[in-house]
Structure 1
Amino acid sequence: MIIINVLLKVKPEKREEFLVFVEDLVSKSRQDEGALFYDCLESLDTKNQFMIIENWRDQAAVDLHNETAHLKKFIVEIDQYLAADKELKKIAYPE
């Protein structure tokens, strides 16, 4: 299994637009082959700080996801919503 966490610090004035934007990514990514879990959650302690949490069956599933139109759109457009650089952490567990 592969776990990917992406920390996103969203500009307060872009919050509502971001929520609509990320919902599109989440709903489509949940349908991707090999997606075990995919969601975007907000910090309880820090307003406008979000974490995309992804669990994938294997690297092949991640590779397929990385080629989807919805992820490519996210990568191209996400920076307009962010107050800081995104932070990505990836953990791979042996099968």
Structure 2
Amino acid sequence: MILINVKFRVKPEHTATFLTDIDWFTTATRAEPGNLFFDWYQSPADPGEFILVEGFHDDAAEPHVNSEHFQRACRELPGYLVETPEIINTLIAGKTVWDRMAEFQVKN
């Protein structure tokens, strides 16, 4: 799995509508055959901070960055942002599913 976390700092005038405005990007990425998950989170402490958590199959990076919707996002998303996003990107070879957390076991 290619695991990517991206931190976006959104301009104050766009925080309320950011996720709706870029839903075209989220929807198209989630529809990619190699996408495992593509989830946005807004910080409760700082409404201008959004975190994108992405997972793709090991061979899906090139089709994703070459897609029309990714290229459009490269052109349009910077207009919403205060600064260049920060990213953590790593490959977890062969991984495609979430594991259960050992430390917080729920007993029913």
**Quick one: distance in 2 between partners of 1:2 and 1:19?**
23
Task: List structure 1 segments (4+ residues) > 6 angstroms apart after TM superposition.
Answer: none
Q: Which residue of 1 aligns with 2:78?
A: 79
TM-score, normalised relative to structure 1: 0.89
SS at match of 1:91: strand
What is the Cα deviation at residue 82 of structure 1? 0.6
Aligned residue type for 2:43: S
CA RMSD of aligned residues (A): 1.3
* Higher Rg of the two aligned structures: 2
Q: Which residue of 2 aligns with 1:91?
A: 90
Contact 1:14 1:81 in 2 (8 A): yes
Q: Which residue of 2 aligns with 1:25?
A: 25
**Quick one: distance in 2 between partners of 1:17 and 1:25?**
14
Q: List gaps (5 residues or longer) in structure 1.
A: none
Q: How many equivalent residue pairs?
A: 94
Q: List gaps (5 residues or longer) in structure 2.
A: 95-108
**Quick one: distance in 2 between partners of 1:51 and 1:62?**
19
**Quick one: distance in 1 between partners of 2:57 and 2:74?**
22
**Quick one: distance in 2 between partners of 1:34 and 1:11?**
31
CA deviation digits over 1:3-35, x for unaligned, max 9?
Answer: 011110101112244222321111110000111
SS at match of 1:44: coil
The answer on 1:44 being equivalent to 2:40 is no
Q: Which residue of 1 aligns with 2:11?
A: 11
TM-score, normalised relative to structure 2: 0.79
The structure whose residues are more often helix, as a share, is 1
SS at match of 2:47: coil
